Amino acid sequence: MSEQALRDELAARLDAARGPEAVWGVLRDGKLFARAVDELAAPFRGMRDLVVVAGPRDTALLLGAAIAMRLQAGFAAVRGAGARLGGPKLRRVAGPDVTGLSEVLVLQVGTVSASDRILLVDDWRAADHGLEASAGLVEGAGAEVAGVALLVDGLDGGDGGPPVHALVRARELA
């Protein structure tokens, strides 16, 4: 399947009205999920000291873990403050997400280190609040954000920060 065919298939499967909930349909299709993971990982192959950080939504965590496996990279999870994570945590408030809610995000201390280069992974970006909070968490641990991988980007690229690789733009969805 070509990259354009993958984008077309994702655009057909994802529904702008349903937002991030539509991502579950992609994850349920093993071939489509594997192809999306391959394409999201491709620009970051060969990066040294790479750790994939994903979350806080479940679909973003699953996508991030799969990308980390494909890249043979480490994985760390950003979670909501209520998640069961042992030990000390870094905390950051994220502004309203696609559901309209703000939340406190946490990263377990020691899951990333100052020598790590971080690939932030999210499933559906409608605003930068969650990614900004996640970047703040990893930067608070001394790590560097090396890139961002998104299944769906509602903001059409970056703002001069690390490179953003998205498979589908939200404006391409029905």
89-94 sheet: strands from edge to edge: 89-94, 103-108, 74-80, 50-54, 117-125, 144-153, 164-169
**pTM (two decimals):** 0.91
- The torsion defined by the Cα of 159, 160, 163 and 167, in degrees rounded to 10, comes to 30
Strands 164-169 and 144-153: parallel
Q: List the structure tokens of 57.
A: 């939504």
* Residue-range domain boundaries for the chain: 3-172
Per-residue pLDDT tens for 39-49?
Answer: 999 999 999 99
Strand, coil or helix: what is 158? coil
CATH-assigned architecture of domain 3-172:
3-Layer(aba) Sandwich (3.40)
76-135 pLDDT, tens digit each: 999 998 888 888 999 999 987 667 778 899 999 999 999 999 999 999 988 778 889 999
Separation CA 81–CA 78 (nearest Å): 9
What SS3 state is found at 4?
A: helix
